[in-house]
Homo-oligomer: A and B are copies of this chain.
């Protein structure tokens, strides 16, 4: 039923080794090359990736483990990763761990048992046991590339953006437009990137000698329905903030909705800088000024690096690449 390398060899009148070599890009005597190619054509031969994997001890699969399938940033990077890595004949074994260290542990175990050739991980929320497991990957010489953040005690490659600096520049932008009372709508601070984004906010305020009212710092998920209340409270007792910096996509949408409900116009009543740029934001009026992450670059760097590591090129190991965000300047910031 299935046609193997042996069938091809027989048909072409050469040895199996010759066919194998042909398939792996070795030079054949011209006459043999033609015969092999013809036999492959005629028999409709497809090489068996699994047999190859067993023999070469490579699964040609890379695990991509992300905190949540429903977060567009993660999926946008994954989309690029898939595109690039498929070009190198790698499959992705994608896993969602729901920001849960216990599930993460399962997934890491799962992918390790599937003999993945490398691991690309977006860490998010991590427990000690996860670190131990990650170290196991490294000890077994399975390359690990972290995206978004380093991990304590894990010596490996990291691709990240400078979140603190991104925040600094966003807040600075507001300050340069003469805003002094700037609120922050952030994610949970325990998550590394949100801690960094908060830090950048504080640094900018400090640099420009602006006081920070702790009441201006909101860090709830709007899905927990607390965000509207929190944003509302920003505007109950004067002096109100004149600008808001929202540090992720959901926060951005939530803030827009909350301001709408409060009958506050953007930017006439409140200026806004949001984070991440996805097409659903295009529906918002006015076009928002946004911090954009270099999604393609993140994916390209991660893919390139893991391929290099898999191929045994450990030249610059461990390598941390810190990328810059860009500001998409549009119409949601008013000069006071």
Residues of A whose CB lies within 8 Å of any CB of B are: 46, 48-51, 53-54, 59, 69-70, 72, 75-76, 78-79, 82, 86, 91-96, 110, 113-115, 222-223, 225, 227-228, 250, 253-254, 256-258, 260-261, 278-280, 282-285
Contact = CB atoms under 8 A, between A and B. Distances in A.
B70 A76 contact: yes
Main secondary structure of the interface of A (DSSP, over half): helix
A72 B95 CA distance: 16
A50 B48 contact: no
A228 B78 contact: no
A260 B285 contact: yes
Given A69-B76, A70-B72, A115-B50, A92 B91 contact: no
B282 A223 contact: yes
Nearest to A86: B110
17 contacts: A46-B113, A48-B115, A49-B113, A50-B50, A50-B54, A70-B76, A79-B96, A82-B96, A91-B110, A222-B283, A223-B279, A227-B283, A228-B285, A253-B280, A254-B283, A256-B283, A258-B283
A86 B114 CA distance: 12
A49 B285 CA distance: 53
A313 to B, nearest CB: 22
A321 to B, nearest CB: 23
A184 to B, nearest CB: 17
A256 B254 CA distance: 13
Contacts of A227: 283
B53 A228 contact: no
Contacts of A285: 228, 257, 260-261
Nearest to A231: B283
Nearest to A225: B282
Contact of A222 (B46, B91, B282): B282
Contacts of A91: 93, 110, 114
Contacts of A54: 48, 50-51, 54
A309 to B, nearest CB: 19
